[in-house]
Amino acid sequence: MADSFVITEEMKSMLGWESEPWMFEVTRTSVRAFARGVGYSDRTYFDVETARKAGYPDLPAPPTYLGTPVFIPGESDDTFSSPPGFNLDLKHGLKGLLDGGTDTEYRATICAGDTLNCVRKLTNLEAKNSKSLGDFLIVTSEFTFTNQNNVIVAVQTARGIFY
């Protein structure tokens, strides 16, 4: 629990920061594995012919699945497969982390065979206090996913709570 915490000018100066793009791949195997893992049974996520009859060019990505980040040994984060600098270091000194929720706005269909580039942008920092956590920081980032045709297919807003 943090005794006292303030957002510094250095932290504020990071607002608007954007990462370099990082590639995510959407494959038939990953679509099927994700759908199976979350318990979907709709054949559209498993059978290409069923997907095509439903109007998709290939297996559609299930809700919340935006591909798998491409892992490059020595460059990618071992936990999240993201590149160096993608996971921003705000030097806030807080040790705990909670997921503050994610909202996804879909703008186009995502299907197996797509490659998506993702750019992270730091959009908000908010200091708060609660009885259970003490002082804490909410970090909000926007992740923009653009497909191989340069079409924005999804925008995610994610919040991390550091305490």
Q: Please state the domain extents for the chain.
A: 9-25+77-162, 27-65
pLDDT in tens, 130-145: 998 899 999 999 999 9
Report yes or no: 17 and 142 within 8 Å, Cβ to Cβ: no
pLDDT the model gives residue 54: 98
Q: How confident is the model at residue 158 (pLDDT cuts 50, 70, 90)?
A: very high
Considering the chain, what is the average pLDDT of its residues? 93
User: Which overall architecture, per CATH, does domain 9-25+77-162 show?
Assistant: Roll (3.10)
Q: What percent of the chain has pLDDT over 90?
A: 82
Distances (CA, A) of 2 to 6, 90, 93, 161, 163: 10, 16, 9, 12, 6
Q: How many residues does the chain have?
A: 163
